[in-house]
Structure 1
Amino acid sequence: MSTSNRAGRAAAPTGWVHALVTVVAALASMAATAALGLWAAGADGLPDGGFGPVVAAALVTAVGGALELSGDADVLLGTSAGLTVMPLSVTLVGALVLAAGFRRPFASGGAAGAGDAALWAGRIAVLWLLALIGVAFAARHTFDVPLGDDTLGALGDLLGIAPRVGFRADVPLTVFVGVVWLAGVLLLTVLVSPRVPLPGRAAPVRASVRPAAEALVLLLLGQVVIGAAVALVVAATRDRPAETLAVVLLGLPNVVWLGLTVGLGATWHGHVQGPFDLPMPHVLDQVLRTPDIATLDLGTLTGHDGRWAWLPVVEAVLLVLTGRLTALRSPAPPRPWRHAVHLAAGLLFAVLTICLTGRITAYLSLSVLGIGDLGGGLGGELLLRADVWPALGLAVLWGAAAGLLGALAARLPGLSRDGR
């Protein structure tokens, strides 16, 4: 190894202190986003000091971790509860900060070899694992549940029942899924960041897939930026701006990326019943708050608001621009069929990720002496799931069409690598 290489490696900011700064910055940004979003949603009024543990629970679910909900009361009281949701605004903030911290040493040219990248990623992973353990143990709390003044409350007073409902993170599962999530973030960062060094055989693979991966990342981030701009206008012109802020800080990607799939023609099914009022646009609540499982697609949305009919047009324009950007970023004018395959595969993976991370399951029921749902609206249910296979088929078709158009556009006069 030459003296200059050794000096470059010694100066590379990839030590344990820098890794700790990266992990702390990611967790702090996620915690701040979650806390502000929960505050806007009204969670600051939670009893028994529950706000902090709920923020920790938001971080757990943001990386795909699991919460266990349980009841604690007399044997005469039955409780049943469950929650599966990813606040993707918190997820996205953490991913962006981690990605920026991971690629920073290589962007400055401080580290030059694939070994540097592997060692740097390993240090971040070790500290991230330890941080996840701490967050998972902090995500536990128990709340007193008021039974109200109706029949269930009277029975509770008569029998001397004081129910409590609590939650706790599944620590092993949270740590495992959280580390897998980190690996996915770092892998995607490597794919879209040409300065991150790779072994010789992996570099050509990245050069092949990077244009489509980078363009699709920009598409998804662009959707979030557009959604944020719309949300700010709504907050400034309509009542209840705190609810809009809660949507932005907790679930904006959940909404806009769901809109992306609906614009492609995908169908979701869901149901809202009871007191659940998770942050979401009012039109989604209108569609989903039905006695039975509701269908959420372009038809049902336009039935409530005709402006949703423009959604496929917007998505088509954005996808064509994505295909064009992919062609411009390609190292050479691509063959149309290869370009179509790359973008179809990328959009397939993106839509699959949206369908899996956008699922919501939340339910709560209380019963005394086997008599349930007597709490004056204490029980409820919220469900949201996609028809995955049709959505994936549509993603392939749209991605192939956008890729084909982008490749053909790259062959037009004046649209070449020299004219980027």
Structure 2
Amino acid sequence: MSSRTLSDLAVPRHGWAQALVTVLGGLIGMGLVAALGLCAAGATDLPDGSFPRVLAATVVTAVGGSVDLSGDASGLAGAEGGLTVMPLSVTLTGALFIGWSFLRPLRHRAVAGASELAGWAARIAALWLIALLCLAFAARHTFEISLGEGALGDLGDLFGVSPEVGFAADVPLTLLVGLLWLVGVLVLALLVSRGAPLPGRLLRFQSAVRPAAHAMLQLLLASVVIGAVIALAVAATRGRPAETFAVLLLGLPNVAWLALTIGLGATWDGRVEGSFALPVPHALDEVLRTEDVSALNLSTLAGHDGRVWWLLVADAVLLLAVAFVMAALSPARVRAWQHAVHLAVALALTVLMICLVGRISARLGLSVLGIGDLDTGLSGQVLLKPRLPVALGLALLWGLVAGFAGALLAQRTRRRSRSDRLPGG
């Protein structure tokens, strides 16, 4: 036989062509979801053919990139602001495809060397950085803003003021955070997959890590699916389908995962000011639209809609279900208290991830001759940030209780199944 052994032939080839498919496939999927969501949100009506630029900026923010807002008009008018928000529907689309494509060449393998995994990931990362660089340079545009009628419009005509506001991606920060995002996606893909190969030295950890990581993936996806069903039902019964599909295609996980943490008892601080309109449930918008920063939790939301307490029930059912699945997939030698610890740590890390990617900070203000912020239809502020220590503490507590209960339920199911297989059982 030739110098290529049978073991060599069994190793899947994952070179530059496969890496290119992974990167392009992920970006095309993200771009398609973002484009449909922006169309539903009315972004096709933006002037000066700016839709492709806005689309590029949306994909940039979906991987954690930063977009700065600014503008001026010969020193007589100015605009300033910033945008920190991740459209998580777009993010989730890219993460799922890239994670699947990263693991696909490694299927049917029990073990993979660390150098092999690092080389495969490095090819994807190199092409990913090139693609991000192109997107970051494309994500910039300037709009001219009308001052409207009245005194401000007269001032603008008198001084020849034509205020402009523009956005531009922060290229270095986008490359850095985008690379960290990709590394996180690839690492998580290895953790949540039940069959992906690992280096030999890490195999002893997979029984403790992978069932819990897989359970958290199920929890996150289940909450998104439930949110989608509720959103479609609302669209069918109450109308405004375009707005609903904009939320589905741009920010469904933002709302669903926020609701997941609130159901656990977490509190978020938030505020909506000015003309920013949030396509979110009415109770949430009412709590946030106040003169000062508001506490967003089960209690404050229930003051506007008592059905919010069902979030508590939904979280309890979902956590018990994923805890049972986690215990059922784990080796029988793992004890109930170990399941509880594994789930507690996994849930705390998951809540930490939600708190980091679910933050929102957006502000845009326009001034003319020192008179600002003007009501031009764009000015306003949105703020949403979690109370992190409390959220993590509650996640640990929920994980311990649900993990222990799920383990006991799985053990009882195993014993019943074993007794049914015994003769005369």
With over 3 angstroms needed to count, the CA separation of the structure-2 counterparts of 1:340 and 1:417, relative to structure 1, is farther
Please show how residues 276-291 of structure 1 align to structure 2 within 5 Å: 276-291=276-291
Q: CA-to-partner distance for each residue in 1:319-377, whole Å, 9 max, x for gaps?
A: 11111111101122422222111111111111111111111111111112211134355
State the match for 2:135 in structure 1: 135
| CA distance 1:109–1:333, change in 2 (3 Å) | closer
Aligned twin of 1:20: 20
CA distance in 2, matches of 1:358, 1:410: 33
Match of residue 258 from structure 1? 258
Q: 1:409 Cα shift?
A: 1.8
Change (3 A) 1:378 1:181: closer
* Cα distance in 1, alignment partners of residues 66 and 78 from structure 2: 22
> What per-residue deviation string (whole Å, max 9, x for no partner) do you get for residues 124-175 of structure 1?
1111111111111111111111111132222111111111111111111101
Cα displacement string for residues 161-194 of structure 1 (whole angstroms, at most 9, x for unaligned residues):
1111111111111011111111111101111224
User: Is the contact made by 2:109 and 2:196 (CA closer than 8 Å) also made in structure 1?
Assistant: no
- Shift of the 111–208 alpha-carbon distance from structure 1 to 2, 3 Å rule, reads closer
Q: Equivalences for 1:231-380 in 2 at 5 Å?
A: 231-375=231-375, 377-380=377-380
The residue correspondences of 1:143-222 to structure 2 (distance < 5 A) are 143-222=143-222
Tell me the distance in 1 between the aligned counterparts of 2:232 and 2:76: 48
* In 2, Cα distance between equivalents of 1:337 and 1:131: 46
Between the aligned partners of 1:322 and 1:274, the Cα distance in structure 2 is: 41
Query: What secondary structure is seen at the aligned counterpart in 2 of 1:158?
Result: helix
What secondary structure does 1:146 align onto?
coil
Are the aligned partners of 1:65 and 1:178 in contact in 2 as well (CA < 8 Å)? yes
The worse-fitting range, judged by mean Cα deviation, of 79-88 and 368-377 is 368-377
Q: In structure 2, the residue corresponding to 1:412 is in which secondary structure?
A: helix
Deviation per residue, 1:57-89 (Å, 9 max, x gap): 111111111111111312121322111100000
Q: Percent identity?
A: 58
1:112 and 1:374 mapped to 2: Cα distance? 59
SS in 1 for 2:307: helix
SS of 1:127's partner is helix
Deviations 1:100-122 (A, max 9, x none): 10111122559954443222211
Moved more, 300-309 or 179-188: 300-309
In structure 1, the residue matched to 2:423 is none
Gapped runs of 5+ residues in structure 2?
Answer: 421-425
Q: How many residues align?
A: 417
The 8 Å contact of residues 145 and 376 in structure 2, kept in 1 or not, is answered as no
What is the letter of the counterpart of residue 370 of structure 1?
G
Name the structure 2 match of 1:3: 5
d(CA) in 2 for partners of 1:311 and 1:329? Answer: 27
Amino acid at match of 1:382: V
Are the aligned partners of 1:363 and 1:379 in contact in 2 as well (CA < 8 Å)? yes
Per the alignment, residue 98 of structure 1 pairs with 98
Report the Cα distance in structure 2 between the residues aligned to 1:413 and 1:318, rounded to whole angstroms: 18
**Aligned-pair CA distance for 1:307:** 1.1
Helix, strand or coil for the counterpart of 2:14? coil
Q: CA deviation at 1:206?
A: 2.3
Deviation at 1:228, TM superposition (A): 0.8
Report the 3-state secondary structure (helix = DSSP H, G, I; strand = E; otherwise coil) of the residue aligned with 1:295. Answer: strand
Residue identity opposite 1:221 in structure 2: L
Is contact 2:298–2:308 with CA below 8 Å preserved after alignment?
Answer: yes
Structure 1 counterpart of 2:387, which letter?
D
Determine the C-alpha separation between the residues in 2 that align with 1:185 and 1:270.
28
Q: Specify whether residues 417 and 347 from structure 1 end up closer, same or farther in structure 2 by C-alpha distance, changes over 3 A only.
A: farther
Q: List alignment gaps of at least 5 residues for structure 1.
A: none
Contact kept, 8 Å, 1:150 with 1:376, in 2: the verdict is no
Q: C-alpha root-mean-square deviation of aligned residues, in Å?
A: 1.9
SS of residue matched to 1:201: helix
Whole-angstrom distance in 2 between the partners of 1:22 and 1:416: 45
Would you identify which runs of 4 or more consecutive aligned residues in structure 1 move more than 3 Å? 108-116, 374-378, 413-419
**CA deviation map 1:170-222 (0-9, x unaligned):** 11110111111111111011112243322211111123211111011111001
- Asked if 1 retains the 8 angstrom alpha-carbon contact of 2:38 and 2:246, the reply is yes
| AA of the residue aligned to 2:10 | G
